[in-house]
Amino acid sequence: MRAVVFEAFGRAPEVREVPEPSASAHGAVIRVEATGLCRSDWHGWMGHDPDVTLPHVPGHELAGVVEEVGPRVANWKAGDRITVPFVCACGRCPACAAGDQQVCERQTQPGFTHWGSFAEYVRIENADVNLVGLPDDMAYGTAAALGCRFATAFRAVVAQGRVAPGEWVAVHGCGGVGLSAVMIAAACGACVVAVDVSAEALELAGRLGAAVCVDASAAPGSAPSGSAPSGSAVPFSAPSGSAADAVLEATGGGAHLSLDALGSPQTCAAAINGLRRRGRHVQVGLLPAATGDPPLPMSRVVALELEVLGSHGMPAHAYPPMMDMVASGLLRPDLLVTATIGLDEAPAALAAMGTAAGRGVTVIQPHRRI
């Protein structure tokens, strides 16, 4: 099969022929029809994830068709249309027994713990625990967008963040996770403040439901750069130029819920500093190990009784409410897909993620030929 392979961290990947995977006793092989290009893939390529061993095939957001199942798989067969969470659980540890497969003690992750979905076929472990069926009318590109960023954002906003109608939600970083969070929070009846340094990302956030867009790169006292957000979103910049101050002012006292969807010391601190009393912060974006753990404004956390939570994906059994909202049209993950490319274009697109501004979700179709 053809796959994107890299043999050294940070060195250009290439498309080459590699052996096809085979199904383990409890696993399955999936013919990959679509797979998302995610910043986590870039982190893996740069050597920021200790689970990645070389040579390696990245990719963890996927949708496709079951090609083969192992002899111990009971609920799936060849030809089934599926997607998977990016955290694949064992189904047997205490965390899994409690329903917390997203923090499974023996989890596997395609594209990190083993070869991933930037390939024509990928192996998935413990298929009965991890596969999620797709409705016949859902496009594979849309389903691939669900696998990591959208599902992660859904759980972060709804389960961990406990969003409520009428609350202010500040989303810091409007890449794939952040834009998903903007859409989900707005669909739940919240008023959303989108924060980013990219005018293009903020324009897309406005289209997806943000009420206020904050340009975090704006100089003190300036208006946001670039074009104004689409729809009814209001461009906003605080006199101080601080993203946290802009959120505090735009929301009349601070957000009820904040998400750092990028993952940097600056965005993490800004998200917490922009909360109101008894607000809730959910950390979604991964921070590179090289940056270390960010210094947090813990005096503010204590004084305002803030909650600081982590969120790590979403288990397969928790997908139905999200899928119902997609089926009803209340959520439109297809609107997040801003580019579709073939496997041959994937190496350059992966390398560009280190410098390119967030522009929604790029989907790779491994069987597509240019």
> Where a domain ends, among 310, 331, 356?
310
Quote the strand ranges of the chain, DSSP E. 2-5, 14-17, 28-37, 61-69, 81-83, 121-124, 132-133, 168-172, 191-196, 212-215, 234-236, 255-260, 275-283, 307-310, 337-342, 361-365
Backbone angles phi, psi at 124, to 5 degrees: -120, 130
Q: Supply the pLDDT for residue 357.
A: 60
**Structure confidence by residue, pLDDT tens digits, 45-58:** 999 889 999 999 99
Q: Does 20 share its domain with 80?
A: yes
What CATH number is given to the structural domain containing 9?
3.90.180.10
Is the domain of 264 the same as that of 319?
no
**Where does a domain end: 310, 331, 346?**
310
Distance CA 123, CA 62 (A): 11
Q: Kindly give the confidence (pLDDT) of every residue in the chain, 370 residues in length, as a single tens digit, with 9 standing for 90 and above.
A: 999 999 999 999 999 999 999 999 999 999 999 999 988 899 899 998 899 999 999 999 999 999 999 999 999 999 999 999 999 999 999 999 999 999 999 999 999 999 999 999 999 999 999 999 999 999 999 999 887 889 999 999 999 999 999 999 999 999 889 999 999 999 999 999 999 999 999 999 999 999 999 999 863 433 333 334 455 677 766 555 689 999 999 999 999 999 999 988 999 999 999 999 999 999 998 876 666 677 889 999 999 999 999 999 999 999 999 999 999 999 999 999 989 999 999 999 999 987 766 567 899 999 986 6
Q: What pLDDT, on the 0 to 100 scale, is given for residue 225?
A: 37
User: Does some domain include residue 156?
Assistant: no
**125 and 194, same domain (yes or no):** no
- Looking at the 3D structure of the chain, how many domains does it have? 2
Residue 155 domain-assigned (yes or no) = no
DSSP reduced 3-state for 123: strand
Residue 17 and residue 122 share a domain: yes
Q: What are the CA-CA distances from residue 208 to residues 201, 223, 232, 271, 286 (Å)?
A: 11, 22, 10, 20, 23
- Global pTM reads 0.90
Q: Does residue 117 sit in the same domain as residue 242?
A: no
Mark whether 211 and 83 lie in a shared domain: no
pLDDT of residue 29: 98
Query: Could you tell me which of 242, 308, 310, 233 has the C-alpha nearest to residue 272?
Result: 308
- 345 and 231, same structural domain? no
The sign of the torsion formed by the CA atoms of 235, 349, 122, 48 equals negative
The alpha carbons of the chain give a radius of gyration, in whole angstroms, of 20
Let me know whether 124 and 222 are in one domain: no
Angle of CA points 210, 213, 216, to nearest 5°? 140
Confirm whether 265 is domain-assigned.
Answer: yes
Q: What is the pLDDT of residue 39?
A: 84
Residue 55 lies in a domain: yes
According to the model, what pLDDT value does residue 69 have? 98
Whether 157 is in a domain gets the answer no
196 and 222 Cβ atoms separated by less than 8 Å: no
Alpha helices in 31-84 (DSSP H): 39-45
Would you say residue 273 lies in a domain? yes
pLDDT attached to residue 228: 42
What is the C-alpha to C-alpha distance for residues 111 and 89, in angstroms, rounded to an integer?
A: 15
Q: In terms of domains, do 78 and 179 share one? A: no
pLDDT reported for residue 227: 39
What residues have CB less than 8 Å from 201, skipping those under 6 apart?
A: 174, 175, 178, 179, 194, 357, 358, 359
SS3 202: helix
Place of tokens 């959208």: 150
CA-nearest of 245, 162, 259 to 210 is 259
16 forms beta bridges with 3
- What is the domain-level CATH number for residue 179? 3.40.50.720
How many alpha carbons fall within 13 Å on the CB side of residue 339?
Answer: 15
- Whether 111 and 167 map to the same domain: the answer is no
Identify the pLDDT of residue 220.
42
Q: Is 238 part of any domain?
A: yes
Q: Are residues 351 and 220 in the same domain?
A: no
- Domain-embedded: residue 370: no
pLDDT score for 355: 78
Let me know whether 192 and 124 are in one domain. no
Q: What residue numbers bound the domain in which 198 lies? A: 162-310
> What kind and span of H or E run contains 177?
helix 176-187
Of 290, 310, 330, which closes a domain? 310
